[in-house]
């Protein structure tokens, strides 16, 4: 009797829970269809331009998610939003989310149907999970409403890049922010003062890199010249294009640098599985040699980034991987340890290998999702035009980066100058100005929600770069070839799940064995064959065949 009672209760509760869940889902589906046709006529006349700014004749309010960066925490008093509203007649109603938990909150809001109309800062790939929910608009259907975006895509030849974000239905759901030129940020950096002192040339190839390390080792026998951070994952990623023509990052404990184990062969227009390719073996053999000869620290694979940095900044190693921001950080720490003026560090150019001098990357960046709610808004068209203007027109991007000409900056040709009463030390603009207002913290400009620091049109991208970074970046673009992007294979729902599971098994094995081969715990001559065989038994062949079949089918559609 009692048991029955508790069963009944359990049933009731289960049903109640299920009902509340489904109720929430169905609610969002109502009112999809109408709106568009009625709104068009009156809306078109609503949008004009005024002083180079987008202008809505009727005052409108759009809701938007805002990622709050701790380096410049959101303030109600920010001038940025005030000026934006004055100039465009658009008010943004913000939901402020700390950046540490931005992605989780975005998921909750979308799943519960409470998401704002505009959701920026969504990295391509992370929108996949929302596609089936129906809460996010397939934005590719609306790009004809966005002249600035379409213009950039066309003029910068981004059609191939956009293939990397297409879903199975041939549409894309995230409106990516765009780069005119690809900007390489990560590279290796080296103590140039040591090189100069000993008359060693800056290497341009991986072979020259090896001989540089050898010379350093001879001169400083106590030092292991190359001790890497990020568990060597980033270096493998950078080296991949030179050996295998695809990034071959590894997954470390700090961060995951690994990508898809598939190599896109542009000539044949199909995919290969790179971990078993001969080229990858060559790459592993190269780094294994560095370890064997004592040129590369064995701990590179296991130490934390902090430990690696500490070795570098105290002069116990001479080479480490970096990006522009981290390089500044190393310099600061070296000044504290070695003393100002006792060191010089510079980024190495991307090194070339057997496959050439290549870089790999995508010119699409984190972008904007537009939710179903926006479509129900009677000012939907105004919203699209506003987003298009703010993120993709030159004027809009200039405003977000530099503010209003005259008030905040002056321009001489392509050279921008921030007025003396403002400072933006993060990008080296008026860093020492006295009594100046922080352009980012105090005024709200240059916020990562609205700009790509090194993206957009070249002029604006370079306007934020320090001379050193500009030089590096221009040198990379001049000397290296950007590899073609692998198109996205959009599997159907079931295949996607099984492919993902297979992929993670295969990647785990690849990761584990790659470290073993590099560190010499496995022998490249003896163990390679059994390594290739193990991949087969783990389903690598099936994985590759499924991928190629799905890709062919997708192409024929």
The residues binding other proteins (CB under 8 A) are 2, 5-6, 9-10, 13, 17, 20-21, 24, 68-71, 73-74, 95-101, 104-105, 108, 111-112, 114, 185, 230, 255, 309-310, 313-314, 323-326, 329, 332-333, 336-337, 425-426, 448, 452-454
Nearest approach, Cβ of 282 to other proteins (angstroms)?
29
Judged by beta carbon, residue 230 or residue 528, the one nearer other proteins is 230
Cβ proximity to other proteins: between 52 and 259 the closer is 259
Nearest Cα residue to 138 out of 375, 366, 386: 375
Shortest Å, Cβ 463 to other proteins: 14
Tell the residue number behind the tokens 């059609």, with chain if given. 159
Q: Would you say 441 or 507 has its CB closer to other proteins?
A: 441
Minimum CB distance to other proteins, residue 342 (Å): 13
Between 308 and 547, whose beta carbon lies closer to other proteins? 308
Residue closer to other proteins (CB basis): 28 or 148: 28
Q: How far is the CB of 339 from other proteins (least distance, A)?
A: 10
Residue 334 Cβ vs other proteins, minimum distance, rounded to whole Å: 9
Q: What burial class does residue 86 get, using C-beta atoms within 10 Å of its C-beta: 0-12 exposed, 13-18 middle, 19+ buried?
A: exposed
Task: Provide the minimum distance between the beta carbon of 277 and other proteins in the complex, in angstroms, as a whole number.
Answer: 29
Query: Which C-beta is closer to other proteins: that of 66 or that of 543?
Result: 66
Nearest distance in Å: CB 262, other proteins: 25
Distance of CA 119 to the CA centre of its chain: 17
**Smallest distance, Å, CB 161 to other proteins?**
18
Min separation Cβ 449 and other proteins, Å: 10
For residue 256, the Cα-to-chain-centroid distance in whole angstroms is: 13
Q: How far is the CB of 54 from other proteins (least distance, A)?
A: 25
Q: What is the distance between the alpha carbons of residues 537 and 404, in angstroms, rounded to a whole number?
A: 62
472-486 burial, b for 16+ CB within 10 Å, e for fewer? bbeebbeebebbebb
Task: Tell me how far, at minimum, the Cβ of 3 lies from other proteins, in Å.
Answer: 11
In terms of Cβ atoms closer than 10 Å to its own Cβ (0-12, 13-18, 19+), residue 384 is buried
**What distance, in Å, lies between the first and last C-alpha atoms of the chain?**
61
Element (H, E) at 325: helix 324-338
Identify which of residues 116 and 353 has a Cβ nearer to other proteins in the complex: 116
User: In angstroms, what CA-CA distances link 7 with 13, 15, 16, 20, 346?
Assistant: 10, 12, 14, 20, 70
Q: Which is nearer to other proteins, 59 or 98 (CB)?
A: 98
Contact between residue 232 and residue 518 where contact means Cβ atoms under 8 Å apart: yes
**CB of residue 126 vs other proteins: minimum separation in angstroms?**
15
Nearer to other proteins, 50 or 82 (CB): 82
Smaller CB separation from other proteins, 272 or 469: 469
Nearer to other proteins, 324 or 384 (CB): 324
Nearer to other proteins, 185 or 388 (CB): 185
- The Cβ of residue 198 has, within 10 Å, a number of other Cβ atoms equal to 13
Buried b / exposed e over 528-544, threshold 16 CB at 10 Å, is: beebeeebeebbbeebb
Q: In the bound complex, what is the minimum distance in angstroms from residue 209's beta carbon to other proteins? A: 23
Yes or no: say if 224 and 509 are a contact pair by the CB < 8 Å rule.
no
Question: Phi and psi for 352 in degrees, rounded to 5?
Answer: -100, 155
CA angle 80, 85, 88 (to 5 degrees): 115
Helix axes 278-292, 206-219, angle to 10 degrees: 10
The least CB distance from residue 86 to other proteins, in Å, is: 23
Closest CB to other proteins among residues 96, 549: 96
CA triple 252-226-221, angle to 5 deg: 145
Three-state secondary structure readout of 19-65: HHHHHHHHHCCCCCCCCHHHHHHHHHCCEEEECCEEEECCCEEEEEE
Among candidate residues 37, 85, 83, 41, the one with its CA nearest the CA of residue 60: 85
Q: Is 246 helix (H, G, I), strand (E, B) or coil?
A: coil
3-state SS of 476-524 is HHHHCEECCCCCCCCCCHHHHHHHHHHHHHHHHHHHHHHHHHHHCCCCH
In whole angstroms, give the CA distance from residue 133 to residue 125.
15
Q: SS3 for 557? A: coil
- Pick between residue 46 and residue 323 the one whose CB is nearest to other proteins: 323
**Which position has the token pair 């089918």?**
553
């Amino acid at each position: 009797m009692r048991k029955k009672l508790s069963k009944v209760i359990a049933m009731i509760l289960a049903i109640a829970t299920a009902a509340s869940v489904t109720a929430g889902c169905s609610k969002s589906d109502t009112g999809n269809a109408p709106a568009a046709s009625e709104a068009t006529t009156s809306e078109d006349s609503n949008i004009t331009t005024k002083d180079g700014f987008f202008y809505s004749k009727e005052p409108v309010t759009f809701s938007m998610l805002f990622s709050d960066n701790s380096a410049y925490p959101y303030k109600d008093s920010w001038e940025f939003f005030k000026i934006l509203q004055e100039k465009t007649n658009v008010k943004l109603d913000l939901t402020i989310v700390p950046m540490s938990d931005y992605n989780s909150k975005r998921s909750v809001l979308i799943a519960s149907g409470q998401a704002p109309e505009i959701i920026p800062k969504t990295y391509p790939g992370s929108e996949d999970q929302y596609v089936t929910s129906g809460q996010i608009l397939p934005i590719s259907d609306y790009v004809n409403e966005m002249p600035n975006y379409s213009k950039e895509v066309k003029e910068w030849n981004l059609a191939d890049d956009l293939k990397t974000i297409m879903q199975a239905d041939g549409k894309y759901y995230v409106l990516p922010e765009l780069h005119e030129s690809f900007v390489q940020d990560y590279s290796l950096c080296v103590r140039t003062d040591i090189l100069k002192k000993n008359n060693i040339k800056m290497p341009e190839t991986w072979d020259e890199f090896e001989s540089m390390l050898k010379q350093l080792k001879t001169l400083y026998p106590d030092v292991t010249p190359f001790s890497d951070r990020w568990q060597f994952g980033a270096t493998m990623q950078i080296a991949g294009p030179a050996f295998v023509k695809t990034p071959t990052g590894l997954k470390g404990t700090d961060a995951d640098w690994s990508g898809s184990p598939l190599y896109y062969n542009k000539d044949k227009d199909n995919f290969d599985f790179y971990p078993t390719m001969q080229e990858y073996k060559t790459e592993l053999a190269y780094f294994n040699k560095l370890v064997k000869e004592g040129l590369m620290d064995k701990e590179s694979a296991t130490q934390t980034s902090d430990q690696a940095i500490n070795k570098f900044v105290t002069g116990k190693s001479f080479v480490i991987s970096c990006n522009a921001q981290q390089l500044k950080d190393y310099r600061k720490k070296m000044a504290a340890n070695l003393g100002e003026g006792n060191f010089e560090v510079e980024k190495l150019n991307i090194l070339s290998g057997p496959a050439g001098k290549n870089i790999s990357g995508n010119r699409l960046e984190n972008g904007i999702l537009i939710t179903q709610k926006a479509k129900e808004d009677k000012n939907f068209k105004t919203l699209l035009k506003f987003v298009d203007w703010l993120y993709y027109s030159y004027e809009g991007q200039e405003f977000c980066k530099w503010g209003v000409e005259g008030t905040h900056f002056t321009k001489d040709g392509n050279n921008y100058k921030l007025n003396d009463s403002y400072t933006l030390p993060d990008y080296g603009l008026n860093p020492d100005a006295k009594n100046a207002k922080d352009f980012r913290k105090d005024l709200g400009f240059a916020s990562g929600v609205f700009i790509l620091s090194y993206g957009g049109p070249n002029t604006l991208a370079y306007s934020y770069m320090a001379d050193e970074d500009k030089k590096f970046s221009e040198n990379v673009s001049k000397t290296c070839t950007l590899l073609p992007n692998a198109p996205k294979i959009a599997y159907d729902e079931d295949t996607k799940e099984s492919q993902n599971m297979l992929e993670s098994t295969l990647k785990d094995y690849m990761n584990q064995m790659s470290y073993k081969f590099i560190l010499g715990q496995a022998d490249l001559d003896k163990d390679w064959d059994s390594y290739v065989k193990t991949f087969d038994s783990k389903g690598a062949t099936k994985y590759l065949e499924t991928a190629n079949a799905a890709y062919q089918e997708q192409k024929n559609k």
